[in-house]
């Protein structure tokens, strides 16, 4: 320091000198503090980023998949953005599909080895490993990987499938619930009560203790009509308890709502529901699912000995889901799937061999606008379905809604729910029947109405006794007036 400067500093009062030193220190420190803040929190320089959603997958030991809040709004036949599923083989000694296994990992050394293989695959192909889940029913572990923008899901899946360590790989697809928006009023007459005569059928069978897996959005197990009907609930979409959502609650009510609660009566009120949330509700009340969440739920339903699996949804063909349905059918589980009127012949699950495909009765028919349309009527030519499709009530159906309410719904989702309930009634009477035998026992109405179910004739055929009023059952075949 120059002599003149030293002299000036010595002449300054001590208090002033201290203030000058503090100001100098602050001037030096503030730019660094600002720089550190921006580095640690880039959102401070880009306010729009503060509201960005979290990553769509959570990687943890339970391997939970895309959640309702983060679910992409896509159509049923498009894959979610930038994700593929990679299946790695489970060695035979670690394949343990025991009844107590509920979908979590078995703690064996092979798990870490397979995870290292998955991590190596991700690194080699420029992917990000997000999540994983065991599928012991198929002898594989399923890994979710994310690819970069601009890459092709099909090309990446084909490349991964050529690796000898990979059983197969595939894009993640989206699926839709087959429901349409309905009104608010609860109509006093249910089609299943008026035309299927379920109150009379319940004197013979209620589906007592038949396990029905409802793979859908969240079910309101506290609804007065559903209280005590849910034997087991699992959430395969995100963490925490499954929320009460519209589509799943409506399907569950049609299948198994209890009587005597001022609401509705399910087709099979004695059935026990497995509420398996694999779908999530959109802001517009639409329902979305994907390959990964559905596969986890199917795997769980198989391992927990469901007698019936209800899939009120539709989407593109999917290799992983097809393999799981093959296992379910081989184990004697009846699978009921909703027909997508716009989905064509190849839509999953209705097109899968052995699945009981169900379409909405009278859909597209001018007669469907009135309650009389729920008397037997020919299927509509506006919504062709594959051979063997059965038709059930699916328009203007009063059913349960979240929050101790009831609503009025339409769609093949709800037709499928009616058939799942009917299969539960048959299963109580014929517990040893195979899925194909149960399908054949659905007694169709004669003549032009060959696809429509005659519930009274179906149960009468199985029991050998007239379950409903015989005069009513005969009239049902020849008279379509309300």
Q: For the chain, give every domain's residue range.
A: 83-171, 176-478
Average pLDDT of span 348-352 = 93
Average pLDDT of span 174-188 = 57
Residue 37 to residue 195: CA distance in whole angstroms: 69
pLDDT value of residue 311: 98
Q: Which fold has domain 176-478?
A: Rossmann fold (3.40.50)
| Both tokens assigned to 71 | 């679910």
Percent of the chain with pLDDT over 90: 49
Average pLDDT of span 351-380 = 58
Q: Please, which pLDDT band fits residue 452 given cuts at 50, 70 and 90? A: confident
The answer to whether 132 is a known catalytic residue is no
What is the 8-class DSSP label of residue 315?
B
Percent of the chain with pLDDT over 70: 66
pLDDT value of residue 442: 84
Q: What is the mean pLDDT of the chain?
A: 75
DSSP string, 84-136: EEEEEEPPGGG----TT--SSPP--HHHHHHHHHHHHHHHHTT-EEEEEEEET
pLDDT value of residue 252: 98
pLDDT at 187 over 90: no
pLDDT at 343 over 50: yes
Residue 96 to residue 84: CA distance in whole angstroms: 26
pLDDT value of residue 470: 58
Give me the torsion for CA of 302, 304, 309, 310, rounded to 10°: -130
Average pLDDT of span 95-101 = 44
Average pLDDT of span 366-392 = 49
The answer to whether 312 is a known catalytic residue is no
Confirm or reject CATH 3.30.70 for domain 83-171, answering yes or no: yes
The answer to whether 161 is a known catalytic residue is no
pLDDT at 293 over 60: yes
CB 435 within 8 A of CB 320: no
Active-site hit among 247, 380, 433, 454: 247
Pick the closest to residue 262 from 415, 421, 405, 371 (CA basis).
Answer: 405
Highest mean predicted confidence (pLDDT) among 62-76, 365-379, 387-401, 455-469: 387-401
pLDDT at 54 over 60: no
Q: Please, which pLDDT band fits residue 198 given cuts at 50, 70 and 90? A: confident
| Both tokens assigned to 144 | 């979710």
Active-site hit among 132, 141, 216, 340: 216
Q: Please, which pLDDT band fits residue 196 given cuts at 50, 70 and 90? A: confident
Question: Model-level pTM?
Answer: 0.74
Active-site hit among 217, 314, 351, 413: 413
């Amino acid at each position: 320091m120059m002599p003149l400067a030293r002299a000036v500093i010595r002449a300054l009062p001590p208090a002033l000198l201290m203030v000058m030193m503090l100001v100098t220190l602050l001037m030096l420190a503030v730019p660094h503090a600002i720089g550190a803040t921006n580095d640690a929190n880039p959102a401070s320089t880009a306010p729009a980023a503060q509201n960005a959603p979290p990553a769509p997958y959570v990687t943890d030991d339970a391997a939970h998949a895309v959640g309702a809040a983060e679910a992409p709004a896509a159509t049923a036949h498009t894959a979610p953005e930038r994700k593929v599923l990679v299946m790695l083989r489970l060695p035979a000694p670690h394949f343990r599909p025991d009844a107590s296994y509920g979908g979590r990992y078995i703690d064996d050394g092979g798990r870490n080895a397979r995870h290292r293989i998955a991590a190596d695959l991700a690194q080699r192909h420029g992917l990000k490993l997000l999540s994983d889940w065991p599928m012991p029913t198929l002898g594989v572990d399923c890994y979710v990987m994310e690819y970069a923008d601009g890459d092709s899901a099909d090309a990446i899946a084909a490349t991964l499938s050529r690796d000898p360590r990979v059983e197969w790989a595939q894009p993640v697809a989206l699926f839709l619930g087959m429901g349409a928006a309905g009104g608010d009023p609860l109509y006093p007459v249910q089609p299943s009560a008026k035309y299927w005569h379920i109150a009379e059928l319940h004197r013979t069978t209620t589906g007592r203790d038949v396990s029905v897996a409802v793979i859908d959005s969240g079910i309101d197990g506290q609804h007065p009509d559903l209280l005590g009907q849910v034997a087991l609930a699992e959430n395969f979409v995100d963490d925490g308890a499954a929320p009460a959502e519209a589509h799943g609650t409506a399907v569950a009510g049609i299948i198994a709502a209890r009587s005597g609660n001022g609401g509705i009566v399910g087709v099979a009120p004695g059935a026990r529901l497995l509420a398996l949330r694999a779908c999530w509700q959109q802001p517009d009340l639409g329902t979305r699912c994907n390959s990964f969440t559905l596969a986890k739920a199917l795997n769980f339903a198989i391992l927990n000995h469901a007698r019936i699996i209800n899939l009120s949804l539709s989407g593109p063909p999917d290799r992983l889901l097809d393999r799981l349905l093959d296992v379910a059918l081989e184990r004697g589980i009846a699978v009921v799937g909703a027909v997508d009127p716009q989905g064509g012949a190849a839509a999953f699950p209705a097109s899968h061999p052995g699945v009981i495909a169900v379409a909405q009765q009278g859909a597209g028919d001018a007669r469907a606008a009135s309650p009389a349309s729920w008397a037997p009527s020919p299927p509509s030519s506006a919504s062709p379905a594959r051979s063997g499709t059965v038709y059930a009530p699916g328009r203007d159906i009063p059913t349960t809604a979240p929050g101790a309410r009831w609503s009025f719904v339409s769609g093949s989702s709800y037709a499928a729910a009616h058939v799942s309930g009917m299969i539960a009634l048959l299963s109580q009477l014929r517990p040893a029947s195979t899925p194909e035998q149960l399908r054949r026992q659905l007694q169709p109405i004669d003549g032009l109405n060959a696809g429509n179910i005659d519930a009274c004739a179906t149960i009468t055929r199985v029991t050998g006794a007239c379950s409903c009023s015989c005069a009513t059952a005969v009239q049902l075949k020849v008279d379509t007036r309300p």
